[in-house]
């Protein structure tokens, strides 16, 4: 997305639509935009639950995660089967640093959806949330397990593949990290992060040609900044080693 003002809208059959105005910046991290859709009730529309979701979405966008979680939880008291809102509750707790509550929320999503073959994508999101929480807690083994299970459910997620690579590299499972980083580059060939980490993973196992290839691709995508400077110096060092 180009920099500037954007209106982000989400809609689906059977749900009230939701939208938000936001400003996209190119050189900085942008705040996450969460839009949760309220089901249209049979007969007359119940506007109050939709209003709760709108309020919760606003709180989340403003990074008021405790307030957002409270509003989402109030909505769930009336709509306990809404797993997408439970995912948002887990996001709130994770971002607010309450990892145990986040794990409970994501675990509920997995439990509620894992037996339904049509809900694999949602189950994968719950497993991803669990992996992220365990990674933040420093439990790398559980993080690895949940990221792997998530990819089995939904293998097209480049972020999960990248995160699995990060966990595997931290565990010094470098060959597995390389496979995961490569998967991320294949799923998202214009994302620079996986190429950067792939280059240094190859360097770790002294595969200099592959390291050069990955770092050169990284520099095409991200030629400037501190990482670009480091990658260029690394390429110079590789050439010295080869001589």
Q: Which two tokens stand for residue 221?
A: 């995508």
Encode pLDDT of 137-169 as tens digits. 999 999 999 999 999 999 999 999 999 999 999
Share of the chain above pLDDT 90, in %: 72
Phi, psi of 24 (to 5 degrees): -100, 130
Alpha-carbon distance of 167 to 224, in angstroms, equals 27
Q: Which two tokens stand for residue 137?
A: 């807690």
Three-class secondary structure of residue 86 per DSSP: helix
Encode pLDDT of 12-51 as tens digits. 877 777 766 666 765 555 666 777 777 766 544 445 666 8
What is the model's pTM?
0.80
| Region label for 144, one of left (φ > 0), alpha (ψ between -120 and 50) or beta (otherwise) | alpha
Judge whether 37 and 54 are in contact, CB under 8 Å: no
């Amino acid at each position: 997305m180009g920099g500037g003002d954007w209106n982000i809208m989400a809609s689906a059959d059977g749900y009230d639509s939701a939208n938000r105005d936001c400003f996209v910046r190119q050189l900085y991290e942008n705040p996450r935009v969460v839009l949760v859709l309220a089901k249209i009730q049979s007969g007359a529309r119940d506007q109050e639950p939709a209003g709760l979701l709108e309020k919760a979405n606003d709180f989340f966008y403003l990074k008021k995660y405790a307030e957002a979680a409270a509003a989402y939880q109030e909505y769930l008291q009336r709509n306990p089967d809404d797993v997408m809102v439970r995912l948002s509750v887990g996001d709130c707790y994770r971002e607010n640093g309450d990892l145990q509550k986040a794990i409970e929320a994501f675990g509920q999503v997995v439990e509620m959806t894992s037996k339904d073959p049509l809900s694999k994508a949602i189950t994968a999101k719950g497993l991803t949330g669990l992996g992220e929480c365990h990674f933040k807690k420093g439990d790398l083994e559980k993080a690895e397990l949940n990221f792997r299970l998530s990819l089995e459910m939904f293998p097209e997620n480049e972020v999960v593949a990248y995160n699995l690579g990060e966990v595997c590299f931290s565990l010094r499972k470098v060959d597995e990290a390389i496979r995961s980083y490569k998967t991320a580059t294949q799923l998202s060939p214009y994302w620079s992060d996986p190429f950067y980490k792939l280059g240094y993973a190859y360097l770790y196992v002294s595969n200099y040609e592959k390291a050069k290839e990955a770092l050169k691709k990284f520099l095409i995508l991200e030629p400037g900044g501190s990482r670009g400077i480091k990658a260029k110096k690394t390429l110079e060092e590789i050439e010295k080693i080869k001589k």
